[in-house]
Amino acid sequence: MVRLGNVSFLNARPLVWGLEAYADRFSVRFDVPSRCASLLHAGDIDVGLIPSIEFLAGEYAIVPGVGVVSEGDVRSVALFTTRPIEAVRSIALDTNSRTSVALTRVLCARHFGIDPAYVHAAPDLDRMLTQAEAALVIGDPALFVDADARGLNKIDLGSAWTAMTGLPFVYAFWAGRPGAVTGDDVLLLQAARDEGIRESLAIARQFFPDDPDKQEIAERYLRTNIRHDVGTREQDALALFFELAVSVGAVPASRPLRWFDASLRALSSR
């Protein structure tokens, strides 16, 4: 039995769609991204959909081809600011996030041209904005915030990254210690992704069973903002993100990407 730790957000649900048919092979639990990473580091799960920056925290291999990706607007990873971004001097960072925290630091230093103070806070937008002039919010809460109604600016971090680099951004992927999955497991995880991509409407309806308005927003989001494939450009984006994260002090060092292959080995990428 492979113990999978999946993220509880809508954008990760397509990755396990259809795995119910393989309940004798996979068990799935759902947590916030930072918790998935902690469980994997502790050995309490075998494979986790971890924030991409957490790959640098352990000797892991990545399930090839599968992740949570955007190119341009992501809509669910954003800074909500009380003033123009160039005037922001403090940012409250969502404690559920690790990759998006590092991305915020990279964009502030390299794209927005600001050097704010950072405070870590529970993901409560109103409370966060009593602590700082801007707040990083991720996942479903960010997707459904009406910034205009609150009198806030919304800075889409996926859009900002693509504007700065011309590349997609990879928020998360399946990772585990070498040998944690077989080649057949990799194929099943890739097939689950493919089925989930085809079933965005069913996923939206299941996720928000009593709210047709949210179902419509969720389906559009899954179809137009979120991708679940990781190819060469996504690998290039990961390598650049790791390099920039090191340069701003978000992580101490980078390392080459490694992938599970069909014979249980973890292969170095570049």
Distance between CA atoms of residues 105 and 118, nearest Å:
9
CATH assignment at residue 143: 3.40.190.10
Distance between CA atoms of residues 23 and 247, nearest Å:
43
> Domain tally for the chain?
2
Please tell me whether residues 57 and 184 are part of one structural domain. yes
Low-confidence ranges of the chain (pLDDT < 70): 262-270
- Domain region containing 174: 2-69+169-268
Q: Which of 165, 189, 223 is the last residue of a domain?
A: 165
Please tell me whether residues 235 and 262 are part of one structural domain. yes
pLDDT at residue 182 in the model: 94
Distance between CA atoms of residues 41 and 39, nearest Å:
6
Please tell me whether residues 142 and 65 are part of one structural domain. no
pLDDT tens for each residue of 42-68 = 999 999 999 999 999 999 999 999 999
Are 207 and 10 within 8 A, CB to CB? yes
Please tell me whether residues 58 and 179 are part of one structural domain. yes
pLDDT at residue 68 in the model: 98
Q: Which of 147, 165, 183 is the last residue of a domain?
A: 165
C-alpha dist (Å) from residue 234 to 12, 68, 84, 187, 217: 17, 10, 30, 20, 26
Distance between CA atoms of residues 17 and 195, nearest Å:
7
* Beta strands 90-94; 153-156: pairing state: unpaired
Are 2 and 8 within 8 A, CB to CB? no
The DSSP string of 177-224 is STTSS-HHHHHHHHHHHHHHHHTHHHHHHHHSTT-HHHHHHHHHHHHH
* Beta bridge mates, 62: 175, 259
Q: Which of 165, 200, 219 is the last residue of a domain?
A: 165
pLDDT at residue 262 in the model: 55
* Beta bridge mates, 5: 29, 48
The DSSP string of 57-78 is GSS-EEEEEEEEEESS--SSEE
pLDDT at residue 97 in the model: 84
